[in-house]
Amino acid sequence: MAETQNLFSNLQHSRDAVCRADGLACARGAITVFEGVSFSLAAGQALCLRGANGSGKSSLLRQLAGLLPAAAGTLTHPDPAYGTHYLGHADGLKAALTIAETLAFDAALAGYRADNDAYADIAARLGLAGCDWQFVGDLSAGQKRRLTLARLIMDPRPLWLLDEPMTALDAAGRALVTDLAEAHLENGGMIIAASHETLDFADEEVLLEPRR
């Protein structure tokens, strides 16, 4: 995490934070997608959501981010507005901005401004070339995905919600995600990720079984 230390001196998250679900249920439209999901996560732990296609992993992540209300059960989690990163299927990138402009916006949403060298550093760390002229709309699928990781680096928040974090990434990209995740866990962060692949950084799993 050498480069990011220029921005944040290895910020430690509170060791008391928890993220817990108790008998959680999720309704989409008229359908109950899952029911009775419970888990508990303490600082420094990572959880991998598993389940067949359509079993409600993405929906659960949106519930944790406060974007989707719970149909039943209770959720305890950090205040999403300060404590949560949510990386979903939609990447929130603007095709008409350059990489540097995108990073500057990320910085501003984190409440600060850095100089161009810092942005170039971060882009290099993410394996992206042409920081100050490459338009985001021209990036390849994996390059876009890498760019979204910048948010995790630039804005330290305790809870990361990652929906299929390995999508479109090559081997180096996967290693990058794993590195970031491990450093985050060491600093006392929490991660909940949905994936169909094995995630090296996750120590626990929750299996969502579709209600039939």
Partner 1 sequence: MLKALENISAFYANPTRFMALARQVHRPLWALAIGVLAYGLYRVAYVPADYQQGDSVRIMFVHVPAAWMSLFGYSFIFIASVTALIFRHPLGHVAARAAAPVGAVFTLLALITGSLWGQPMWGTWWVWDARLTSVLVLFFIYLGYIALWQAIDEPTRAARAASILAIVGFINVPIVKFSVDWWNTLHQPASVSRLARPALHADFLYPLLIMGAGFLVLFLALTLTRMQMEVLRQRLRARAPKGEPPHV
Partner 2 sequence: MSGLMRIFAAICSQHMHLSWRSGQTMLAVSFLFIAITLLPFGLGPELKLLRALAPGLLWVVLAISLLTGLERLFQADYEDGTLDRLLLVPLAFEAVVLAKLLGHYLALVLPLILAVPLAGLLLNIEAARLPVLLAAMLCGSPALVLLGGIGASLAVSVRRGGLLTVLIAMPFYVPVLIFGAAAGRAGLETGVAVGPYLGILAALSAASLLLAPFAIAAALRSALR
Ligand X SMILES: Nc1ncnc2c1ncn2[C@@H]1O[C@H](COP(=O)(O)OP(=O)(O)OP(=O)(O)O)[C@@H](O)[C@H]1O
What residues make contact with a copy of itself under the rule CB under 8 A?
Answer: 28-29, 51-54, 58, 89, 127, 138-143, 145-146, 164, 167-174, 196
Among 11, 135, 176, 205, binds partner 1 (CB under 8 A): 135
Residues 6+ apart with CB under 8 A from 199: 46, 48, 165, 166, 178, 181, 193
Tell which positions 55-94 bind partner 1, by CB under 8 A.
none
Enter the tokens of residue 101: 């402009």
Which tokens is 79 given?
A: 């205040």
Residue span binding Mg ion (CB under 5 A) among the ranges 55-63, 72-80, 131-139, 203-211: 55-63
Q: In what order do the strands lie in the sheet with 190-194?
A: 84-87, 159-163, 190-194, 46-50, 204-207
Counting contacts by CB under 5 A, is residue 95 touching Mg ion?
Answer: no
Neighbours of 169 (CB within 10 A): 19
52 binds Mg ion (CB under 5 A): no
State in angstroms the smallest separation of the CB of 70 from ligand X. 13
Is 125 within 8 Å of 183 (Cβ atoms)?
Answer: no
Could you give the count of Cα atoms lying within 13 Å of 78 in the half-sphere of its Cβ? Answer: 25
Which residue of 58, 84, 102, 143 would you call a contact of Mg ion, by CB under 5 A? Answer: 58
Of 109, 172, 175, 207, the one binding partner 2 (CB under 8 A) is 109
Q: Is residue 130 at the binding interface for partner 1, with CB under 8 A as the rule?
A: yes
Interaction site with ligand X (CB under 6 A): 28-29, 31, 33, 51, 53-59, 138-143, 168, 170
